[in-house]
Amino acid sequence: MQAAPMVSVGVDAADRNARNSSTGTSRWLAATSLPCKDATALSEVLAFLRAWASPTFDVVVNVFDRGDADGGDLLLPHSTCGSQLLAAGASRVSYMAGFKTLFWRDALTAEVVASYDWIWLFDCDLRISPRLFQLTELEHWMGASGASIAQPSVLPASRDGRAGRGAHFTRSGVSSDCLVRAVPYVEQMTPIFRREAFMLLAAALRRVPEDRLGSDSGLETLWCALAATTFPSRPACVVVTPLSVVHMNTHTIRRYDKNEREHYFNPKVNLLPYLAKYFDAEVRSACIGLGRGLYANMTGADNRKMPSLCAALVPPIGAARWNELRTMGGAAPNSISTAAGCWGLDQGLD
């Protein structure tokens, strides 16, 4: 395969040195999956590797289109795409066909992640620059909030591009008294987990039949639900607004998954109905708590939206009861947020 042209993301030596010295004793594992035939995705992942890979920051990459792989799901340093990724700093390159959820399940096992403090799952169409995102700041705000799972805010690549879901997942309306906000879900494109929170996801994925892992529907809520019910003394999920990634929105799934509509719209194989049925206790507990607490802190259009798994519970809970819980306010059960659901400069002072 001909090498894809590189796209500059504004990373210079000063950025790289500052970022590499920022993690201290923390160990990070980042993981992404891409089609090597997608030149934009390959450019972004190569740029990410060159900017971020270090002795304390490992990156594993899965190539799901087997365009130039000539073997099984093994490390293939002689493949054109694989050799580029390894040369740029990837710790490992695998060739697993299928959606990213299968890669997460099979490659990011409990044994693999056991030696890391933080696990970061990121989509291949994100531009992640040290000018917008710093590991020290992420670790700082995770310490200040105590959250189990976080995501940075998501910026569009252009003025009319797609950013994060709703105002609370962008930099819109940010203020110094609410830089970090408890949220009902964390988007699938860039969740960051404490190791113990990721272990919950790894165990959950092993419970799901393989034919349901062609989509990620509902995971944005499930991992927050698992964290909320397992670690009731800490916030489950937050968005760290001052730290951002850029969504290039290359429609990778639509372009490279010929079964996308089947996986997302057929209830017999879509992941969401399975999660709603077989993770009912965890999801129900967290969603009721979210309705009482976090949704009271969200405004405008966001306050009228429920994450997909919580929406699936509307018939059992009752729409009227959901609306009542959603507008009650107050602290949520399981202590999944602070009273205000925000952490600002006063809480984040060293």
pLDDT of residue 283: 74
Q: How far apart are CA 234 and CA 5, in angstroms?
A: 44
| CATH node for 26-343 | 3.90.550
Residues in the chain: 350
Q: How far apart are CA 29 and CA 27, in angstroms?
A: 7
The one-character DSSP state at 117 is: S
To 10 degrees, what angle do helices 100-107 and 195-206 make? Answer: 110
The one-character DSSP state at 178 is: B
Q: How far apart are CA 315 and CA 306, in angstroms?
A: 13
Q: What is the pLDDT along the chain (350 residues), one digit of tens a residue?
A: 333 333 333 334 334 444 444 456 799 999 999 988 888 899 999 999 999 999 999 999 999 886 444 444 444 444 688 899 999 999 999 988 888 999 999 999 999 999 999 999 999 999 999 999 999 999 999 999 999 999 999 998 877 766 666 555 667 767 888 899 888 788 899 999 999 999 999 999 999 999 999 888 889 889 998 998 899 889 999 999 999 999 988 776 666 666 666 777 788 888 888 888 888 877 776 666 555 444 443 333 443 344 456 655 544 444 444 444 444 332 233 333 343 578 888 765 55
Domain residue ranges in the chain: 26-343
Nearest one of 290, 184, 183 to 241, comparing CA atoms: 183
- Rounded to two decimals, what is the model's pTM? 0.79
Tokens representing residue 231 in the block: 């670690």
Q: How far apart are CA 95 and CA 72, in angstroms?
A: 7
